[in-house]
Structure 1
Amino acid sequence: MIIRKVSLAVSVLFSIAGFAQDVAKTDFQIKPDVKISYLDSVKSSFKKDELATKVDSLWMKELVSLDIYDDLTKDIQTINSDVSVDEELPTELLKQRLQVMNEKSPFEIEYNQGLENIIKSFLKNRKKSFSRLMSLSEYYFPIFEDAFAKQNVPLEIKYLAVVESALNPKAVSKMGATGLWQFMYGTGKQYDLKIDSYIDERSDPMKATAACSEYMTKMFNIFGDWELVLASYNSGPGNVTKAIRRSGGKTKYWDIRNHLPKETQGYVPAFLATMYLFEFHKEHGINPERAVVKNFETDTVQIKSQMSFKQIADLLDMPQAQIQLLNPSYKLNVVPFYQNEAHYLRLPKDKIATFVSNEDQIYAYVKHQSQFKSLPARLALKVTPRAKNTLEKSTQDIQFYKVRKGDNLGSIADKYDCSILDLKKWNNLKSNSLALGKTIKIKSADSVVKTKEIKTPEIDKKAVEEAVASTDNKDKSGAKPLEYVVVSGDNLGSIAKKFGTTIAELKELNDLTSNNLGLGKTLVISKNAAEIEVVPAENTVAVASNSIDTFKKKATTAKNIGEDYYVKKGDSLYSISKKYPGVTISDIKKWNGIKEDDLKPGMKLKING
């Protein structure tokens, strides 16, 4: 009898233990029901083209880097060909190489002391610039050569784009000349290049090169000499004709050079010096820094509805800078849609395949987004006409940005969704150069809320003002970036979902050109940690049993009571909170009396103090 009672007690005890284990398992196996965004749901339905060739890594910083353009332009305008330069290049060797170039070129390339001085000056001061230019040339030169071959223009003219714009389609001179070939507004219109509020085809590599080819052909029919054609391209055919008259009817560039405008006197020698450096770059130890996307790896698709570069980048998981590089003629980072006019988007071939295979979903998403163009997401307010004046006033406030190492006008313009011309206008800048530490003004008038599109009930004006004020204060305070260290099992998709952002935005913030992540890599999630909340924290399913919640809370608290944590290099409040289950950033701030994520190595933090 006693044995039976003992057996029964033991079996009951094991049953209770088993039940407890089941409860514990239930607790820790519950997975949050995360709500996915409309963007993610659209992308999850995309058909993938697994056979598409992966595009090469883009050297995207070159898109917005105008420093080479500034330097070369200044050199060509101020270079003195009469000043000898101390650079190791024997004159006899240079003469031999120039003769080799002359034999296979329609240009008359002859040695003279002025040309030697310019070549040596470039070798001494611009080696690094030419290394970068050669990398860019891998993308642009095939475009130029194709256009020139059709018109029987010497292929060597491609080097002129280096002299004109440093191969930057966004280059704009002080006089307003624009694009790779630096067309003035009137000349662009003369050669049927479209220029309006959305589009400037002077920045379109293919259309502008076709116009340049047409111009060169016409000028050669007039002068019959390619050096004079180049001189006319720089100073106009009228100035070349005057120089011919003043020289007594001579028709060779070197004979009339002294009668040409000062800038044009250095223009043709700079062109020939550029040709020399490209032809003999290996002999001087100049090599492309890294490869850019080749032209034959891209393709175009006709756009059926207006869409922004941001929308395209989000949908196709690619950086906006890559879209800008391939589509420089769209001035506002928007591909417009006009009735009876075709507009094309150029993309890497694998992205074209994704776009074409999923056009219906893409246009549906763009249409959906166009209905919500109003407030910034972080305000989450409905605006009425009564609040319009307050919001417009706040959104037109001037922001200030301090120039950091590596910044340039292009990258800052991209960051604040404005143009380089806007930045120059707002700050009275005459060149594209920026001094380190300089504070520049940024007007946010473009972000004025389009209240006419919103039809909602009225709200309390005071609430709107307070929300706008708090947003402004966030922007003006020293915002701390939110960072995340990649752990085993992470990928861009899971990290983007965790922080309520997109893969494209993560790539943009971290200059990533692929989806590969190294273990331990630190990613910037947001430039302002205060704006980010972890998505699962808002969307997790509540656990049914209060006893399980209580059990978890007690277990966590018991583990961490009285514990101190010493801050290590690279730590943030977020990364520290993840080390202690159940502990939040707000908890750590409260326990230690701190307001911002301003941590220093060695600092002691109380956990559950």
Structure 2
Amino acid sequence: MIVKKISLVVSVFFSMSMFAQEDVKTNVEIKPEVKISYLDSVKSTFKRDEAATRVDSLWMKELTSLDIYDDLTKDIQTINTDVTVDEELPTELLKQRLQAMNEKSPFDIEYNQGLENIIKSFLKNRKKSFSRLMALSEYYFPIFEDAFAKQNVPLEIKYLAVVESALNPKAVSKMGATGLWQFMYGTGKQYALKIDSYIDERSDPLKATAAASEYMTKMYNIFGDWELVLASYNSGPGNVTKAIRRSGGKSKYWDIRSYLPKETQGYVPAFLATMYLFEYHKEHGINPERAVVKNFETDTINVKNEVTFKQLADLLDMPQSQIQLLNPSYKLNVVPYYQGEQHFLRLPKDKIATFVSNEDKIYNYVAYQSKTKSLPAQLAMKVAPKAKPIVREKLELSKDLQLYKVQKGDNLGAIADKYNVNVSDIKKWNNLKSNAVALGRTLKIKSDFDPSVKTAKDIKSTLAVEKKTEEAIASTDDKDKNNAQSQEYVVAVGDNLGSIAKKFGTTIAELKELNNLNSNNIGLGKTLIVSKAVPEIIDESAVTTAIASNSSIDSFKKKATSPKSLGEDYFVKKGDSLYSISKKYPGVTISDIKKWNNIKDGDIKPGMKLKING
């Protein structure tokens, strides 16, 4: 019995120890380390306002929609004011309401059959549109009223922006009129609105409204009648003056209306009909949609460095569409930096608080991104923070100013890579406002980097070129080395696909295929991929071995440029193009290869056999 009891105690003790060991194993299980991005590490240190309001994405889409603008513009141009519309609105009741509007407005609002027809047409066909417009007006009307009050312009003119642009700052007419107040290019310049590659202040609600207010004041001083001011805004003061002469000197809109251009004849009635629907929307069952963003909930901040909307959206945790809505004058979704000028960014107040509290961190992140962006996109994905040079004859050079003369085929990206600086720095040092740079121009470069000194990066690039593709090998001579580095190209003023294809020795078809383009249209500032040949970053050990075995750039170059013999068949490899293949054979052109192989459009595929007849 004693032996059995002892055995039982030992068994229980052993079992408990086993459970304890299992418990320990479970508790000390090591979790894999989770790496976070540089963006997340920056954002984790931000001070945040927890009371930030959430913006409805559907509302943002609504604010940037152009469908109302298209519908209203078509209506105003096509509505026949002489055709009676069947809609329930007693004429006598309408006359009473128009009289009530007239009594509290400086406009001469009087009943006529044409105005009744337009009001009834809007009620019949555009009720839903006006419900949406009234929601938009909660954001824009306070801006308009503030500007008009300063110039003593009737506040009712705010309804004109509904007729002009359907309250969309990005609206552009067929004639090129732009923004909430639909300024033509010349008129915008006349009223000191900045228009360049980055900025179009015709789309800036504050500045464009101030310009419209100034125009209205000047026209009223000429005509002394607010209806004629509206007519001149639509067709120009010259057409109004002609109509006055043709009418025998009459000075009221309704007296000269028949002598005005056809579009202007419906323009003022459309404005008055819009005013009526906003004033009496409840009586007609028009319920304004919910307005999430209001102007008084936003504020502006002076931006001290160039920053993109994408970077701001990532850092501030807000939709990029919201930044676009609040800052419609920035054409390329970039807040630029011009020396000696101020640029402002409008944001919700809670985001302004986050920006101000973390301004230095935001600019540091933007600077970090600019360095990464100077590399081709495909290469930047493979490269970690910049590798230190392994071989340098000179580690430190004088920071004296260096001069560089722009050569054929150069762009700011390639020059920045050559001197190990940023594109934005080169633009700042040389007062450049765009990425375009003239051939033969001498640029000032402030850099301690000597491009003539060979580094481990140069050797790595050459090794990678030899290993990766024959196309890259064939381009390691001095002439084509720049092209191998310039895997991407930023579209400059005057560029088109043909000129870019010629510059990089490729074809329009290849550029379109590389960049998934459906047409030949390319936007200014767009980054295009101009070659598939992307050097692959290789191990440090491979570079060290190459150096240890006395490998040199010249030996790689000699091997890379050795010609292939003519009169042989060539099998197309992945990444090949007709241009890269022609470079492998002395004296052979793209047109030769096309002719020998009956190729019409330049389309070749891996594995395809090509005849090289010589």
Same-fold call, TM > 0.5?
Answer: yes
Would the aligned equivalents of 2:172 and 2:178 in 1 still touch at CA under 8 Å?
A: yes
Instruction: Check 1:351–1:190 CA distance in 2 against 1; reply closer, same or farther (3 A cut).
Output: same
Q: TM-score, normalised by structure 2?
A: 0.64
Q: Which amino acid aligns with 1:21?
A: D
What is the CA-CA distance between 1:10 and the residue it aligns to?
Answer: 3.3
**Matched position secondary structure for 1:206:** helix
5 Å-filtered alignment, 1:233-382, equals 233-373=233-373, 374-376=375-377, 380-381=381-382
**Matched position secondary structure for 1:300:** strand
Match of 1:71?
71
Q: Distance in 2 between matches of 1:78 and 1:184?
A: 22
Instruction: Check 1:277–1:377 CA distance in 2 against 1; reply closer, same or farther (3 A cut).
Output: farther
Could you say what the CA RMSD is over the residues aligned between the two structures, in angstroms?
A: 3.0
Q: Which amino acid aligns with 1:284?
A: H
Would the aligned equivalents of 2:376 and 2:488 in 1 still touch at CA under 8 Å?
A: no
Structure 1 residue 130 corresponds to structure 2 residue 130: yes
Q: TM-score, normalised by structure 1?
A: 0.65
Q: Distance in 2 between matches of 1:130 and 1:176?
A: 25
* Structure 1, unaligned runs of 5 or more: 402-422, 427-441, 470-609
5 Å-filtered alignment, 1:520-535, equals none
Q: Distance in 2 between matches of 1:224 and 1:239?
A: 16
**Matched position secondary structure for 1:399:** coil
Q: Deviations over 1:330-376 (max 9, x none)?
A: 00000001111000000000000000000010000000011111444
Match of 1:21?
23
Instruction: Check 1:36–1:243 CA distance in 2 against 1; reply closer, same or farther (3 A cut).
Output: same
**Matched position secondary structure for 1:230:** helix
Match of 2:455?
none
Q: Deviations over 1:111-170 (max 9, x none)?
A: 000000000000001111101100000000000000000000000000000000000000
**Matched position secondary structure for 1:272:** helix
What is the CA-CA distance between 1:33 and the residue it aligns to?
Answer: 1.6
Match of 1:90?
90
What is the CA-CA distance between 1:289 and the residue it aligns to?
Answer: 1.5
**Matched position secondary structure for 1:14:** helix
Would the aligned equivalents of 2:82 and 2:117 in 1 still touch at CA under 8 Å?
A: yes
Would the aligned equivalents of 2:79 and 2:118 in 1 still touch at CA under 8 Å?
A: yes
**Matched position secondary structure for 1:372:** helix
Would the aligned equivalents of 1:395 and 1:444 in 2 still touch at CA under 8 Å?
A: no
What is the CA-CA distance between 1:36 and the residue it aligns to?
Answer: 1.1
Q: Which amino acid aligns with 1:148?
A: F
Q: Distance in 1 between matches of 2:379 and 2:286?
A: 49
Instruction: Check 1:360–1:443 CA distance in 2 against 1; reply closer, same or farther (3 A cut).
Output: closer
**Matched position secondary structure for 1:186:** helix
Structure 1 residue 446 corresponds to structure 2 residue 526: yes
Would the aligned equivalents of 1:172 and 1:178 in 2 still touch at CA under 8 Å?
A: yes
Which is worse superposed, 315-324 or 16-25?
16-25
Q: Deviations over 1:36-84 (max 9, x none)?
A: 111111111111234x563664710123311111111111111110001
Q: Deviations over 1:261-308 (max 9, x none)?
A: 010000000000000000000111112121131111000110010000
Would the aligned equivalents of 1:49 and 1:354 in 2 still touch at CA under 8 Å?
A: yes
Match of 1:205?
205
Q: Deviations over 1:171-192 (max 9, x none)?
A: 0011110000000000000000
Q: Distance in 2 between matches of 1:200 and 1:156?
A: 26
Instruction: Check 1:445–1:348 CA distance in 2 against 1; reply closer, same or farther (3 A cut).
Output: closer
**Matched position secondary structure for 1:47:** coil
**Matched position secondary structure for 2:202:** helix
Q: Deviations over 1:201-244 (max 9, x none)?
A: 00000000000000000000000000000000000000000000
Match of 1:191?
191
Q: Distance in 2 between matches of 1:335 and 1:344?
A: 8
Q: Which amino acid aligns with 2:370?
A: S
What is the CA-CA distance between 1:381 and the residue it aligns to?
Answer: 4.5
What is the CA-CA distance between 1:9 and the residue it aligns to?
Answer: 3.8
Would the aligned equivalents of 2:106 and 2:154 in 1 still touch at CA under 8 Å?
A: yes
5 Å-filtered alignment, 1:451-600, equals none
Q: Distance in 1 between matches of 2:64 and 2:379?
A: 29
Would the aligned equivalents of 1:396 and 1:444 in 2 still touch at CA under 8 Å?
A: no
Match of 1:54?
53
Would the aligned equivalents of 2:49 and 2:354 in 1 still touch at CA under 8 Å?
A: yes
What is the CA-CA distance between 1:387 and the residue it aligns to?
Answer: 4.4
Match of 1:11?
13
Would the aligned equivalents of 2:299 and 2:352 in 1 still touch at CA under 8 Å?
A: yes
Q: Distance in 2 between matches of 1:157 and 1:262?
A: 21
Q: Distance in 1 between matches of 2:152 and 2:75?
A: 31
What is the CA-CA distance between 1:22 and the residue it aligns to?
Answer: 2.5
Match of 1:495?
none
Q: Distance in 1 between matches of 2:265 and 2:382?
A: 62
Would the aligned equivalents of 1:307 and 1:336 in 2 still touch at CA under 8 Å?
A: yes
Instruction: Check 1:390–1:146 CA distance in 2 against 1; reply closer, same or farther (3 A cut).
Output: closer
Would the aligned equivalents of 1:43 and 1:315 in 2 still touch at CA under 8 Å?
A: yes
Q: Distance in 2 between matches of 1:25 and 1:466?
A: 51
Question: Between Structure 1 and Structure 2, whose CA radius of gyration is higher?
Answer: 2
Instruction: Check 1:33–1:95 CA distance in 2 against 1; reply closer, same or farther (3 A cut).
Output: same
Instruction: Check 1:61–1:238 CA distance in 2 against 1; reply closer, same or farther (3 A cut).
Output: same
Would the aligned equivalents of 1:396 and 1:443 in 2 still touch at CA under 8 Å?
A: no
Would the aligned equivalents of 1:85 and 1:117 in 2 still touch at CA under 8 Å?
A: yes
Match of 2:34?
34
What is the CA-CA distance between 1:26 and the residue it aligns to?
Answer: 3.5
Instruction: Check 1:226–1:445 CA distance in 2 against 1; reply closer, same or farther (3 A cut).
Output: closer
5 Å-filtered alignment, 1:219-234, equals 219-234=219-234
What is the CA-CA distance between 1:11 and the residue it aligns to?
Answer: 1.7
Match of 2:120?
120
